[in-house]
Structure 1
Amino acid sequence: MTRCRLCGSTALTSVVDLGATPPCESFLAEDQLDLPEPAYPLHLRVCADCWLAQLPPLIAPEETFREYAYFSSYSTSWVEHARTFVEGAVERLGLGADAFVVEVASNDGYLLRHVVDRGIRCLGVEPSVNVGAVAREAGVPTLTAFLSPETGAAVRGEHGPADLVVANNVYAHIPDVTGFTRGLRALVADDGWVSVEVQHLLTLIEENQYDTIYHEHFQYYTVASAARALASGGLTLVDVELLPTHGGSLRLWARPEGAAGEPTARVAEVLDREKAAGLQELSGYTEFSARVAKVRRDLLRFLVEAAERGETVVGYGAPGKGNTLLNHCGIRPDLLAYTVDRNPYKHGRYTPGTRIPILPPERIAADRPDYVLVLPWNLRTELVEQLSFVHEWGGRLVFPIPELSIVEVTS
């Protein structure tokens, strides 16, 4: 990787090198366990000119998203987050029955179903065939396609311009930042709105959230770099909200250049926070790699010592971030017997690289392990409640990020 994908600069500096890992959602069927498994470098760098943090584009999105293992609706809190967003957007923008809403990367319809319930015309644009089919079965109109300027123009030509375009947790997933942004601009009305949710690089670094670095994410944004990315496609950042989702996210509100007006005070406030954290100079990135190494050492020490005491540790969840953590730490079934997941698609499969079996959640109550390692740590509040039953046999929960935390749960 020699040039920044946003500004073309060659001033790229290493932030953290996590070695080589398989794609985080390439779960293995049993008959694949004796086959070769490709692994790709996972090395995050930052551009010292535009401050976009980025991975080399080694895996095309088409390889990952044609059939996808992640279904948003299996997270109760995420569905509730989507419902709250829709309610707020309808009120904020005054969306009525004659409005048109488009969501890009709409997954299984987890968000647009709330738009459908309000009687507002909508369309999902989802590249994954399998999850898009689930959305259509649930009554959410969905087009199977990757967003490009051409796709955006075609949707606009057929359905008209969108009053609101939603792009939640997809802006990091595309290597052609400018082309994708032009696609958003093609979709939205000249006086419309674009809402983008994306993980905040500030909290990723401050909270050691390195497991959210994986090949599906081609870049990681600050407000400063996101504003530049949006501008590259004809959109202007006008407001920002700080969200707790995914350990800390940004909700970016943008409009076409001619309708944008002045940005809110919140934009300046977050820019000031980023600058104070050193994220507009290399000093803000230099210590991250050492803190990542400590997470690895602490987790491995805990797992090895538990194994030597004869205690059982199993996992909860099989998210993409978990596979970065497992591979970086070199965790195998001798240290983590299995993990469980609510998504039936993953049952009977194995985690990429580490080959840990994925089982239904009921196995935890049946086996009564000493510890449950929670891999989707960003859902901590939700999962502490869901897993409160482990107190019945004295089991405890383990959270690896931002630092190792062992939690005794109560009913």
Structure 2
Amino acid sequence: MTRCRLCGAAAPASVVDLGATPPCESFLAAEQLDVPETTYPLHLRVCTECWLVQLPPLITPEETFSEYAYFSSFSSSWVEHARTFVAGVVERVGLGPDSFVVEVASNDGYLLQHVVERGIRCLGIEPSVNVGAAAREAGVPTLTEFLSPATGAAVRAEHGPADLVVANNVYAHIPDVTGFTRGLRALVADDGWVCVEVQHLLTLIEENQYDTIYHEHFQYYTVASASRALASGGLALVDVELLPTHGGSIRLWARPAETAGAPSRRVADVLDREKAAGLQELSGYAEFSARVAKVRRDLLRFLIEAAEQGKTVVGYGAPGKGNTLLNHCGVRPDLLAYTVDRNPYKHGRFTPGSRIPVLAPERIAEDRPDYVLVLPWNLREELTEQLSYVHDWGGRLVFPIPELSVVEVLPVKESAV
């Protein structure tokens, strides 16, 4: 990687090298198991000019998102997060019957369904054909397109300017940061709002959340680098919220630069935290690679010792982050017999690279394993409750991030007290 994709500076510095992996959502059908998989270097770098942390754009969004395995609605906590967001933003922005809301990367309508319920005109822009079809079946108007300045202008011409444009958990997924941001600006009214949620690099580094590094994520943002990215497309950051989602996210509130006004005190406070953590100098990244290596050693040691003791270990969840972890650690079915997932799209398939079978969740209760390795660790509270039945046979849950944690499971009645 010779140039930063945001500012064009030469030779971004290495942060961590995770080897080579296939795209994290490229689950394999049984007939593909004897076919070679293409892998791509997963080497994270940071620009020492604008401090955008990034991966080289070795695959395109079209390769990843035209047919997609992730459906947001299978996470009940994520749907609730969206419901709460919609309730709050209606109040904050003053949305009403005459308003227009656009969500970019709207997935299966997990968020806009709450807008539809309120009688507010809305449109989802979702590039994945299969996921967008699910949204339309649920009654959420959805356009199957990738956002570009031309797409934004076409939507504005047909539907009018949007009072609110939502771009949750997509700003990391596009290599053309400036072009995508110009698309957001094309959509939003001159006095409108753009709301972006994205994982916060500060918590990724502090909490060792390296498994969220995968080829769908082209960049990783601080508030400082996100502000610069927004400005590249004509938007100005005016406020920020810190969220617990995805292990720690930022909710960025932006407006067209010509009408935005001064940023809030919260923006300055988070910028100060990032600077104090050293994220605008190379020293802030110096220890990250060593801490990543320790996660790998600890997880492998646990799995190997469990196997030698005749203990059974299965997985829960088949998220993209789990595939980074499994491939980086070299975990195969001899150490993790299978994993389960609530998304039936993945059932009967195999994880990319590691080729671990993905089964329906009911399989855990049938097999009664000694340990369940929870791969979507960011949903720890939700999944601990869902897996409370593991207590019935004395099973334990294993969380690999930020450090290996093996926990006993309380029965439902006790855990609710």
TM interval, short-chain normalised:
over 0.9
Q: Map 1:17-36 onto structure 2 (within 5 A).
A: 17-36=17-36
Query: What amino acid sits opposite 1:311 in the alignment?
Result: K
Residue 175 of structure 1: aligned partner:
175
Q: Map 1:53-68 onto structure 2 (within 5 A).
A: 53-68=53-68
The yes-or-no answer on 1:370 pairing with 2:370 is yes
Residue 85 of structure 2: aligned partner:
85
Distance (Å, rounded) in 2 between the aligned partners of 1:345 and 1:194: 32
The yes-or-no answer on 1:330 pairing with 2:304 is no
Distance (Å, rounded) in 1 between the aligned partners of 2:371 and 2:36: 32
Q: Map 1:148-159 onto structure 2 (within 5 A).
A: 148-159=148-159
- Report deviation, 1:277: 0.2
Distance (Å, rounded) in 2 between the aligned partners of 1:33 and 1:286: 38
Query: What amino acid sits opposite 1:122 in the alignment?
Result: C
The yes-or-no answer on 1:406 pairing with 2:406 is yes
Residue 37 of structure 1: aligned partner:
37
Residue 360 of structure 1: aligned partner:
360
Say which SS state the counterpart of residue 231 (structure 1) adopts. Answer: helix
- Report deviation, 1:381: 0.4
Query: What amino acid sits opposite 1:89 in the alignment?
Result: V
Say which SS state the counterpart of residue 79 (structure 1) adopts. Answer: helix
Distance (Å, rounded) in 2 between the aligned partners of 1:4 and 1:252: 22
Residue 200 of structure 1: aligned partner:
200
Residue 249 of structure 2: aligned partner:
249
Query: What amino acid sits opposite 1:75 in the alignment?
Result: S
Say which SS state the counterpart of residue 258 (structure 2) adopts. Answer: helix
Cα deviation, 1:47-67, whole Å, max 9, x if unaligned, reads 000000000000000000000
Residue 218 of structure 1: aligned partner:
218
Residue 415 of structure 2: aligned partner:
none
Distance (Å, rounded) in 2 between the aligned partners of 1:115 and 1:362: 33
Query: What amino acid sits opposite 1:117 in the alignment?
Result: E
Contact 1:11 1:49 in 2 (8 A): no
Distance (Å, rounded) in 2 between the aligned partners of 1:257 and 1:177: 17
Q: Alignment RMSD, CA only?
A: 0.4
Distance (Å, rounded) in 2 between the aligned partners of 1:333 and 1:247: 27
Distance (Å, rounded) in 1 between the aligned partners of 2:398 and 2:120: 43
Q: Number of aligned pairs?
A: 411
Distance (Å, rounded) in 2 between the aligned partners of 1:282 and 1:410: 43
Say which SS state the counterpart of residue 258 (structure 1) adopts. Answer: coil
Distance (Å, rounded) in 2 between the aligned partners of 1:179 and 1:12: 21
Distance (Å, rounded) in 1 between the aligned partners of 2:359 and 2:234: 46
Say which SS state the counterpart of residue 291 (structure 2) adopts. Answer: helix
Cα deviation, 1:207-248, whole Å, max 9, x if unaligned, reads 000000000000000000000000000000000000000000
Residue 265 of structure 1: aligned partner:
265
Cα deviation, 1:131-180, whole Å, max 9, x if unaligned, reads 00000000000000000000000000000000000000000000000000
Distance (Å, rounded) in 2 between the aligned partners of 1:117 and 1:243: 25
Query: What amino acid sits opposite 1:134 in the alignment?
Result: A
The yes-or-no answer on 1:47 pairing with 2:47 is yes
Query: What amino acid sits opposite 2:252 in the alignment?
Result: L
Distance (Å, rounded) in 1 between the aligned partners of 2:149 and 2:288: 36
Say which SS state the counterpart of residue 83 (structure 2) adopts. Answer: helix
Q: Map 1:295-374 onto structure 2 (within 5 A).
A: 295-374=295-374
The yes-or-no answer on 1:3 pairing with 2:3 is yes
- Report deviation, 1:259: 1.6
Distance (Å, rounded) in 1 between the aligned partners of 2:47 and 2:258: 29
Distance (Å, rounded) in 2 between the aligned partners of 1:39 and 1:210: 18
Runs of 4+ in 1 over 2 A off after TM superposition: none
Query: What amino acid sits opposite 2:109 in the alignment?
Result: G
Distance (Å, rounded) in 2 between the aligned partners of 1:32 and 1:11: 37
Residue 72 of structure 1: aligned partner:
72
Distance (Å, rounded) in 2 between the aligned partners of 1:106 and 1:228: 24
Distance (Å, rounded) in 1 between the aligned partners of 2:354 and 2:279: 33
Say which SS state the counterpart of residue 119 (structure 1) adopts. Answer: coil
Query: What amino acid sits opposite 2:271 in the alignment?
Result: L
Normalising by structure 1, report the TM-score.
1.00
Say which SS state the counterpart of residue 259 (structure 1) adopts. Answer: coil
Distance (Å, rounded) in 1 between the aligned partners of 2:281 and 2:230: 21
Distance (Å, rounded) in 1 between the aligned partners of 2:384 and 2:216: 27
Contact 1:61 1:216 in 2 (8 A): yes
- Report deviation, 1:11: 4.0
Query: What amino acid sits opposite 1:271 in the alignment?
Result: L
Say which SS state the counterpart of residue 69 (structure 2) adopts. Answer: coil
Query: What amino acid sits opposite 2:376 in the alignment?
Result: P
